Structure 1
Amino acid sequence: MDRQSAHWMKREDERILEFLEEEGLSTASLISREVFESVSMGHVRERLHMLAGAELVGSLTTDRTHWELTQAGQRYLDGDLDAENQPRPRLGRVLRND
Structure 2
Amino acid sequence: MRPLVTWMTKSDPAILEFFEEQDISMPPAVVSFNIEGVSHPTVKRRMPELADHGLLEKVEGKRGYYRITDRGRAYLAGDLDAEELEDE
Give the TM-score normalised by the residue count of structure 2.
0.85
Return the offset for 1:10: 0.6
Tell me the residue number matched to 1:86. 85
Tell me the residue number matched to 2:28. 28
One-letter amino acid matched to 2:7: W
> What is the alpha-carbon distance in structure 1 between the residues aligned to residue 33 and residue 13 of structure 2?
16
Tell me the residue number matched to 1:60. 59
Tell me the residue number matched to 1:51. 50
Return the offset for 1:85: 1.6
Indicate if the aligned counterparts of 2:58 and 2:67 stay in contact, CA closer than 8 A: yes
Between 1:24-33 and 1:60-69, the stretch displaced more is 60-69
Tell me the residue number matched to 1:7. 6
Tell me the residue number matched to 1:92. none
**Unaligned segments of structure 2, at least 5 residues:** none
Return the offset for 1:15: 0.3
Stretches of 4+ aligned residues off by more than 6 angstroms: none
Alpha carbons of 1:86 and 1:71: their partners in 2 closer, same or farther (altered >3 Å)? same
Q: CA RMSD in A?
A: 2.0
In percent, how many aligned pairs have the same letter?
33
**Unaligned segments of structure 1, at least 5 residues:** 90-98
